[in-house]
Amino acid sequence: MSTGIPVVAVVDDDSRLLESLGDLLESAGYAVRSFSSAGALLMTGLSGVDVLITDIGLPDIDGFELRDRVKMQQPELPVFLITGRHEIADQERAKGIGGLFRKPFDGRALLAAIGDVIRSRQTKEDEDES
């Protein structure tokens, strides 16, 4: 985990959602890196990212595949999936994520979940150092 302000990467092809989610996260004190595609995130890299939020329905690489690729590079990185779909047919693929939020989602619930995983990771790192 990075030191200082936690960094949240957000991937969504909806520019309005990307902007509003960025505003929400920044208002809660997080640094935000926004990407309109999974490919753009992968090209930039995950260095310094503490949490990833990705839409499932992306045009290039879907959120499940992005999550799987990220987990190969950084198994400890918390990943939250967001979706506009009311039903996710393949619930088995949703396992191993930090959380699943359906649009429109409750911003407070998302912030609480992000805060929980960041505090948990920080506690674990503090314990590992002692």
Per residue in 45-103, pLDDT (tens digit) is: 999 999 999 999 998 899 999 999 999 999 999 999 998 875 553 454 555 555 888 88
**Domain formed by 7-129, architecture:** 3-Layer(aba) Sandwich (3.40)
pLDDT of 23 higher than 80: yes
> Does the predicted model carry a pTM greater than 0.85?
yes
The domain limits of the chain are 7-129
**Per-residue confidence (pLDDT) for residue 122, from 0 to 100:** 84
Q: How far is CA 104 from the centre of its chain?
A: 16
Which tens digits make up the pLDDT trace of 95-122? 555 588 888 889 999 999 999 999 998 8
Best CA proximity match to 73, nearest among 37, 102, 44, 99: 44
